[in-house]
Amino acid sequence: MQDPKRRIVITGIGLTAPNGDNLAEFRQALLEKRSGVVPYEIRYVGETFAGICNFDANKYQKKKEVRRGTRAGSISIYCAHEALADAGIDLETVDKSRIGVYLGITEHGNVETENEVHSLTTKYDSDVRFWSHHHNPRTVANNPAGEVTINLKIPGPHYTIGAACAAGNAGLIQGLQQIILGEVDIALAGGISEAVKTFGIFASFKAQGALAEGEDAAKVSRPFDKARNGIVVSEGGAIYVLETLERAQARGAKIIGEIVGYALNSDATDPVLPNPVRQAECMRAALKRAGMEPGDVDIVNAHATATSQGDIKECAAIREVFGEAEGVYVNNTKSYIGHCMGAAGALELAGNLPSFEDSIIHPTINVDDLDPECALPGLVLNEPKQVDKVDVILNSSFGMLGINSAVIVRKFSE
Is the pLDDT higher at 109 or at 171?
Answer: 171
Distances (CA, A) of 251 to 94, 96, 244, 247: 11, 16, 11, 6
pLDDT grade, residue 111 (50/70/90)? confident
Task: Say how far apart CA 258 and CA 321 lie, in whole Å.
Answer: 22
pLDDT tens readout for residues 314-371: 999 999 999 989 999 999 999 999 999 999 999 999 999 999 999 999 999 999 999 9
Task: Say how far apart CA 26 and CA 347 lie, in whole Å.
Answer: 9
pLDDT tens readout for residues 227-252: 999 999 999 999 999 999 999 999 99
pLDDT of residue 413: 92
pLDDT above 90: percentage of residues in the chain: 88
pLDDT of residue 130: 84
pLDDT at residue 26 greater than cutoff 60: yes
- The answer for residues whose C-beta is within 8 angstroms of residue 72's C-beta and 6 or more apart is 105, 107, 108, 109, 111, 143, 144, 147, 192, 193, 194
pLDDT at residue 135 greater than cutoff 90: no
Burial of 312 (0-12, 13-18, 19+ CB in 10 A): middle
pLDDT tens readout for residues 68-90: 999 999 999 999 999 999 999 99
pLDDT of residue 268: 96
pLDDT grade, residue 32 (50/70/90)? very high
CATH class belonging to 261-410 = alpha beta
pLDDT tens readout for residues 389-404: 999 999 999 999 999 9
pLDDT of residue 180: 97
**Burial annotation 136-162 (CB, 10 A radius, 16+ → b, else e):** ebbeeebbbbbbbbebbebebbbbbbb
pLDDT of residue 113: 86
pLDDT tens readout for residues 171-195: 999 999 999 999 999 999 999 999 8
pLDDT grade, residue 197 (50/70/90)? confident
- The CATH code of the domain at 8-250 is 3.40.47.10
pLDDT at residue 138 greater than cutoff 90: no
Residues of CATH 3.40.47.10 domain(s) within the chain?
8-250, 261-410
Task: Say how far apart CA 192 and CA 16 lie, in whole Å.
Answer: 10
pLDDT tens readout for residues 246-280: 999 999 999 999 999 999 999 999 999 999 999 99
What is the residue-averaged pLDDT of the chain? 95
pLDDT of residue 257: 98
Q: Please say whether the beta carbons of 237 and 343 come within 8 A.
A: yes
pLDDT grade, residue 1 (50/70/90)? low
Catalytic residue IDs: 165, 303, 339
Short-list 63, 64, 40, 61, CA closest to 51: 40
pLDDT tens readout for residues 283-292: 999 999 999 9
Task: Say how far apart CA 53 and CA 50 lie, in whole Å.
Answer: 10
**Burial annotation 181-203 (CB, 10 A radius, 16+ → b, else e):** eeebbbbbbbbbbbbbbbbbbbe
pLDDT of residue 50: 98
pLDDT at residue 64 greater than cutoff 70: yes
pLDDT of residue 120: 85
Strand, helix or coil at 119? helix
